[in-house]
Structure 1
Amino acid sequence: MSTSSVSKGCFVFKPSAKKKKTLDLESYFIHGCEGAESSKTRYRLCQDLWDKIKTDTELLQDELNRQILDSLLEFTKKCSLSRQHSDWTSRMRASEIPTAALVLGVNVPDHDVTFHSLSDLLRQSVTPHVVSVQAKECAALKHLMKKVLERLMDTVVAVDDDEEETEQTQLHKSVHCSLGALCDWYTSKTTKSNSPGKKRSTSVREEHHQQQPPVVIIFKDLEAFNPRVLQDFILICSRYIERLPLTFIFGVATSPSTIQHMLPHSVSSLLCIELFQSLSCTQHLATVLDKLILTPQFPFKLNGKVMQVLISIFLYHDFSVRNFIKGLQLALLEHFHSQPLSVLCCRKKEALLNVAQLGHGDLERIRQLRTFKRYMEKQEMEEQSKLTTDDTHLKEVCQKLIKELRRYHKNYYPILRCLHTLTSSLPRYPLGKQIRELHLICLEKNVWETEDYQCAMKLLRMLAKDELIVLLQRCAEILQPVKSKKIKNALVQLEELLAKFKQLDTAAAEVASSVEDCVISPVKDLQKKTDLFQLQKTLLEMNESRRSKKLSPFETLRNEALEFVDSLVKSHLPPPESQTLSEVCYYSSSGTVRRHLNATPRTSIQAALSSPFYYLQNDSLKAEDGTVSNAAPDICIAYKLHLECGRLINLYDWLEAYATVVSAAEGIDPDSDSYGKVDEVKHARFIRAVSELEFLGFIKSTKQKTDHVARLTWGGC
């Protein structure tokens, strides 16, 4: 399949008879998968959980955006209906354009979903004339006008000074790029739709709305638009507002004051702006965690380190819930691909059936699990021998352990929510303000052994009666729907404690009077004339009386309630790593997730330039550690040579060193005159390699010396 020709030409190669077999998703998953005997089952389980994540998050997105989207729909309907009546002029001047400023937050990757849902809802219930534009496609006013007209009219729009589209406009019937053409098109559309036909039983107000539906223009990323382009477009639209019922929707990522900064008063006065605030991204993330992570219904789990990586990327990079879910899906895929025992990461009934179908290889993997080894060490010698040799007995034990693991998750999350309810309103939030912070603590260690937990319990012992009763009632509401014997027993004890708190009102007054008498009596003695010894004696008696003071009924009951809460925490909130077979459900490779989601391109580029063999898979490129073969690509040779230089690199010396290495690669005799000589070809190759290094950011030109370049990377001599 090679050609050799002096002249230029076109060569045709017929395809081979054998066609490459394309692999489906399942084949890609199974290829290279450890534990191939269960790979198909694991792929099916992974696909089911993946679909569940996608479906649940879409439903959550719709629920969270429902209020703001309904408000926007009501706004556009109200503006459209008011335009047909006298109350339009009373609310705003005739030249004002109704505008909705939708503040979405800085989580820009999530905005597309919101605008897509908004456009669909507007088309379904308000108007068919909806168009969305982005700043990257509207660099000039003519581009903005063209995009708006083309997407509304669904036709080719001709721009007078646009030479690139002359051929396209000749083939298709084009429309002149002006709002006058859009007005004529809108008039013809509304006239056709208002032609006489079947009578409909609608009110006069709704009939006017149906006759003249608004034209909605959505600016997705307002901050990225050229202010001058936006100003000119608004000025032009204000001249046609009487003929064209326009409505603007501004997608604002930062602050509503952005509109004032971008538009002068002469332009912003042409807009009748109403502000709409969407749900914050942190609240959105809390809802996603609540529905997908903090629930026993979802069998796949993340350990503390992986959870911390995903949350850190969310908080410190993009605030994107969409990207957080992608990270969760990546962890799900990696877990089922790399862990053969993930075949047990499913619902309880299916997991018990899969245990019975495990082969000898999978059972050996179970015996090698760290948590199972710890479980075996606690058993008697006879039981240890049976677990090591008897596969049937091991399957029975594994079924029991799977049930215990499910029971642990069923009890863990309600108690976690109760502890968060009790501590989330304490001063300085010792266990965190968000439940995810408390969950991370519980994933890594015994929460009751931490100083923050002890501090939280001390603060809880200082709560007033009304505050404590409210918190305990919330805990009872959390435990109410849980179907677990231990949780039901805990709920009964909690309700008994609440009943005792309600019976304290009458007894509290009697105890308070007696305590007041015993505290005041020594104080009265101090008022008498006495000497220093008598004063010291009296103060010591007061101190002893305070130490030996009997606790009030409320204090006793409060301590009892907090001891009950402490016992629940110690029983149900040990870290998941303490549970046998937790590796089946928990994904723990935080490094893999960080490497895929939080990429470091500079490190990858340096690794490729230093070790080209691992990327090109060419045996001639193999070299010792720290060296690069003289047969490597030119950029790799230039990169290796530049590492041996200081901050400033002499281009001529660099070129000579490069020519010497390339001559050795070409097999030229070192004793010959042509060895290391710079010819035109080597010079051109060197210039290209240096240009590529400059493009990648390793060097830059400097004004200190004209024949030198400066290094931009660390590690210089």
Structure 2
Amino acid sequence: MGIGYGSGKSRTRRLAQGCFVFKPDFKKRKISVPIEDYFNHEKLESEDSKLRFETYHLLWQRMKSETEQLQEKLSENLFDSLVEFLQKSHSEFQKHSKNWGCHMKLREIPTAALILGVNVTDHNLIFRSLTETLQNNVTPYVVSLQAKDCPDVRHFLQKLTSQLMDCCVESESEEGKHVKIPRKTNDSMDSLSSWYATVTQKTCPKITSKKRTTTSGQWQSPPVVLILKNMESFSTKVLQDFIIISSQHLHEFPLILIFGIATSPVIIQRLLPHAVSSLLCVELFQSLSCKEHLTVVLDKLLLTAQFPFKISKKALQVLTNVFLYHDFSIQNFIKGLKLSLLEHFYSQPLSVLCCDLPEAKKRINFFSVNQCENVRRLPSFRRYVEKQPSEKQVALLTSETVLKEETQSLLENLHVYHINYFLVLRCLHNFISSLPKYPLGRQIRELYCTCLEQKIWDSEEYASALQLLRMLAKDELMSILQKCIEVLNSSTEMQLGNTTQKIKDFLMLFQNLDADSKEDEDACGSQIKGLQKTDLYHLQKSLLEMKESRRTAKKQTKFEVLRENVVNFIDSLVRDYLVPPESQPLHEVVYFSGAHTLREHLNAAPRIALHTALNNPYYYLKNEALKSEEGCIPNSAPDICIAYKLHLECSRLINLVDWSEAFATVVTAAEKMDANSTTSEEMSEIIHARFIRAVSELELLGFIKPTKKKTDHVARLTWGGC
């Protein structure tokens, strides 16, 4: 581009003619780095990072697909009930459309109060699935509004109108029709009613279900479903005005409301007075409890041999504690599970074997020398080698062929161990889940954590549970045994030998007890049913009395002998198959135990992070010039770091003058300034401005605040290192 000399107009013309715009070519500048390269751990020597990443990706896709199917199945009953309610409400509208305004009852707006629970972070996913279901089964006109977008009625109607227009455009594009609908209308219910009449007369959409068959047929006037995601956050006046206006136009604008409620349905009466709530025909719908949802997710992902990846007790406690004490979010729990899976494949070189058993055996055959050494370094494998004869020890430590064969055998044993482990765990849970006071917990995840931590048969709670099992009635025992048979039959891989047949034999013996045994059992069972309603003191007292009476009795009944045999059989199964995973060789391959890593990522500690960044900037910046001894202030550190470390040396009140002078001393040492130079005055002003900015940033972060005690001082808000 050249610019010549001349008049202003000519220069402007030549300048305009010589300017061109060149869009940057991002494709050339983009540096593509393979994702698997991120799996090259700095401290680990592994040549299979790509294979580990691919294994992680495939395993997570399987787990993700399982969770999506599970969530869809859990929401299916709730969504079916909602669809049935909406169809029924709309059929009433069509039936009485001519004399809609003549009946006061028909002025009521059909309203579904959807109780979703306090897991607010999961609500968006639920509403997204609900919107898709309603559009497939009920009506194309489904609108979702949030409180932050509706500060008043005008904005409420604006959002409602714009989203309805979008729904109309989408339905027209799918059907191939082009109906000109004005995009800009007056934001009022009258304009919406006229727009609705125009659209339904011209388009007449046919509602056909993609996933489920409905009996609604072809609707000439589909309803408008309005979803209020967080009803508690909406302004009371906005809701009242909108409901009153909508009820007046309901005969020409068929509206159906869905309230998303996180707390309790009582909020409807609190937000709306009786004069307004009487205009709603409310029906309650309850979603699945968060804890029940968590139990189902754990059951499908962790308490199964379908997926080889497992979590240790401490890591599982971190995830469940975040769920139970912070957000009750299933989505966040699944993200934490994904993080655990990612960290396991990143930090464990032998996680390449965390896959299906046939594939793992194939990969062992191609192990290199370094990978064989990684197997020998595993603590569980070392303990296993120490228990072997001396000849086999030498072979495992020197021969790679023997090591690979033994590794394949150990992985197969670990797979069989998991199958047996979870089957016996479910059977034990069926026995102890109905006991008084729940000595081993009510949920299966509580029992699972106990079994992961220690040998469960050494605990006092287990001994107490066995005592209570020896006092169950016949009908309760038969019901539990029937559940155990169902659990064992549900497994495609039977590894427990003749356990199923033994349980069936016990069940048959209970059914064949004679009348005398039945009378004795009924007497014993009646005592237990009374025990379940008493407190712990009377329960322990009754246990002692029963033990004493049993000691004095000369002969047990047939039922008591059979019940004792059942309890002893279950106890033997527990001792044989519920051994802690740490006792199994190669358990490190499939178990993630980095609880500390999960805490760092999931339990945020902003104050500690701020203190670390300001006190030791090298921790984040990785600049060698920022390295310094403890207690020293590096003169090349950022201004806010210098000001922060200086303020740590002050008392509760900080003199700004002294603070500024100390700051200037450190900074001038960094700049290597000459005190007698001609630019010293100008530089002092710059340093003063830098100090003011650093102090303002510390005030913004909450470390200091102005004080009225002394005008030239600031008050320190923190005390100590962090």
Shift of 1:237: 2.0
Query: After superposition, where does 1:190-209 map in structure 2 within 5 Å?
Result: 190-194=200-204
Identify the match of residue 82 of structure 2 among 50, 59, 72. 72
1:78-119 Cα distance to aligned partner (Å, 9 max, x none): 111101224978996243211111000001111111111111
Shift of 1:510: 9.6
Q: Does 1:554 align with 2:559?
A: yes
Deviates more, 1:308-317 or 1:484-493: 484-493
1:187-226 Cα distance to aligned partner (Å, 9 max, x none): 1111102599xxxxxxxx957x711110111111111222
Identify the match of residue 496 of structure 2 among 487, 497, 509. 487
Q: Classify 1:590/1:67 alpha carbon distance in 2 versus 1 (closer, same or farther; 3 Å).
A: same
Distance 2:117 2:66 in 1: 22
Unaligned runs of at least 5 residues, structure 2: 1-18, 169-181, 207-214, 525-547
SS at structure 1 position matched to 2:637? coil
Distance 1:24 1:141 in 2: 52
Distance 1:372 1:31 in 2: 23
Shift of 1:696: 1.4
| Equivalence for 1:251 | 260
Identify the match of residue 125 of structure 1 among 118, 137, 150. 137
Distance 1:48 1:628 in 2: 49
Deviates more, 1:477-486 or 1:138-147: 477-486
Q: Classify 1:505/1:675 alpha carbon distance in 2 versus 1 (closer, same or farther; 3 Å).
A: farther
| Equivalence for 2:608 | 603
Calculate the TM-score normalised by the size of structure 2.
0.85
Distance 1:32 1:507 in 2: 73
Distance 1:32 1:252 in 2: 48
Q: Does 1:23 align with 2:33?
A: yes
Query: After superposition, where does 1:182-331 map in structure 2 within 5 Å?
Result: 182-194=192-204, 210-331=219-340
Shift of 1:334: 1.1
Deviates more, 1:552-561 or 1:349-358: 552-561
Distance 1:90 1:41 in 2: 72
| Equivalence for 2:476 | 467
Unaligned runs of at least 5 residues, structure 1: 1-9, 157-171, 197-204, 516-542
1:358-384 Cα distance to aligned partner (Å, 9 max, x none): 111111011110100110110011110
2:196 maps to a residue whose letter is Y
- Would you say the 8 A contact 1:300–1:345 is kept in 2? yes
Query: After superposition, where does 1:697-716 map in structure 2 within 5 Å?
Result: 697-715=702-720
SS at structure 1 position matched to 2:227? strand
Q: Classify 1:707/1:240 alpha carbon distance in 2 versus 1 (closer, same or farther; 3 Å).
A: farther
1:404-446 Cα distance to aligned partner (Å, 9 max, x none): 0000001000100011110111111110000000000111110
Shift of 1:399: 0.7
Q: Does 1:55 align with 2:60?
A: no
Identify the match of residue 107 of structure 2 among 77, 95, 101. 95
1:53 maps to a residue whose letter is M
Q: Does 1:38 align with 2:43?
A: no
Identify the match of residue 415 of structure 2 among 406, 409, 434. 406
Q: Classify 1:666/1:485 alpha carbon distance in 2 versus 1 (closer, same or farther; 3 Å).
A: closer
Shift of 1:567: 0.5
SS at structure 2 position matched to 1:273? strand
| Equivalence for 1:689 | 694
Distance 1:92 1:351 in 2: 70
Q: Does 1:572 align with 2:577?
A: yes
1:501-550 Cα distance to aligned partner (Å, 9 max, x none): 223223527989xx9xxxxxxxxxxxxxxxxxxxxxxxxxxx99963622
Distance 1:546 1:253 in 2: 55
Identify the match of residue 116 of structure 1 among 113, 128, 132. 128
Identify the match of residue 161 of structure 2 among 149, 159, 164. 149
| Equivalence for 2:172 | none
Count of aligned pairs: 656
- Would you say the 8 A contact 1:610–1:626 is kept in 2? no
SS at structure 2 position matched to 1:174? coil
Identify the match of residue 105 of structure 1 among 96, 100, 117. 117
Q: Classify 1:31/1:445 alpha carbon distance in 2 versus 1 (closer, same or farther; 3 Å).
A: closer
Distance 1:706 1:493 in 2: 86
Shift of 1:274: 1.1
1:682 maps to a residue whose letter is I
Shift of 1:677: 11
Distance 2:477 2:673 in 1: 88
Shift of 1:702: 3.2
Q: Does 1:613 align with 2:618?
A: yes
Distance 1:195 1:423 in 2: 55
Shift of 1:483: 4.7
1:562-596 Cα distance to aligned partner (Å, 9 max, x none): 11111000100011111000001001111111111
- Would you say the 8 A contact 2:365–2:404 is kept in 1? yes
1:333-362 Cα distance to aligned partner (Å, 9 max, x none): 111111111111111111111111111111
Q: Classify 1:217/1:545 alpha carbon distance in 2 versus 1 (closer, same or farther; 3 Å).
A: closer
1:280-308 Cα distance to aligned partner (Å, 9 max, x none): 11111111111111000111111111111
Distance 1:406 1:86 in 2: 64
Q: Does 1:476 align with 2:481?
A: no
1:192 maps to a residue whose letter is K
Q: Classify 1:544/1:445 alpha carbon distance in 2 versus 1 (closer, same or farther; 3 Å).
A: closer
1:283 maps to a residue whose letter is E
Q: Does 1:134 align with 2:146?
A: yes
RMSD between aligned alpha carbons? 3.0
- Would you say the 8 A contact 1:621–1:628 is kept in 2? no
1:38-75 Cα distance to aligned partner (Å, 9 max, x none): 22221111111111121111111111111111111111
Distance 1:115 1:343 in 2: 38
SS at structure 2 position matched to 1:101? strand
- Would you say the 8 A contact 2:612–2:619 is kept in 1? no
Identify the match of residue 186 of structure 2 among 176, 195, 208. 176
1:303-349 Cα distance to aligned partner (Å, 9 max, x none): 11111100000000100011101111111111111111111111111
Identity of aligned residues (%): 52
Q: Classify 1:378/1:646 alpha carbon distance in 2 versus 1 (closer, same or farther; 3 Å).
A: same
Distance 2:518 2:216 in 1: 66
Deviates more, 1:66-75 or 1:84-93: 84-93
| Equivalence for 2:541 | none
Distance 1:628 1:408 in 2: 57
Query: After superposition, where does 1:331-410 map in structure 2 within 5 Å?
Result: 331-410=340-419
Distance 1:195 1:75 in 2: 20
Distance 1:317 1:578 in 2: 33
| Equivalence for 1:424 | 433
Deviates more, 1:679-688 or 1:219-228: 679-688
| Equivalence for 1:627 | 632
Deviates more, 1:389-398 or 1:79-88: 79-88
Distance 1:572 1:716 in 2: 50
Distance 1:89 1:291 in 2: 52
Distance 2:351 2:518 in 1: 61
Distance 1:692 1:129 in 2: 49
Q: Classify 1:173/1:575 alpha carbon distance in 2 versus 1 (closer, same or farther; 3 Å).
A: closer
- Would you say the 8 A contact 1:133–1:218 is kept in 2? yes
Shift of 1:685: 1.7
- Would you say the 8 A contact 1:482–1:488 is kept in 2? no
- Would you say the 8 A contact 2:101–2:107 is kept in 1? no
Calculate the TM-score normalised by the size of structure 1.
0.86
SS at structure 2 position matched to 1:131? strand
Shift of 1:13: 11
Shift of 1:268: 1.7
Distance 2:519 2:438 in 1: 36
Distance 2:36 2:323 in 1: 30
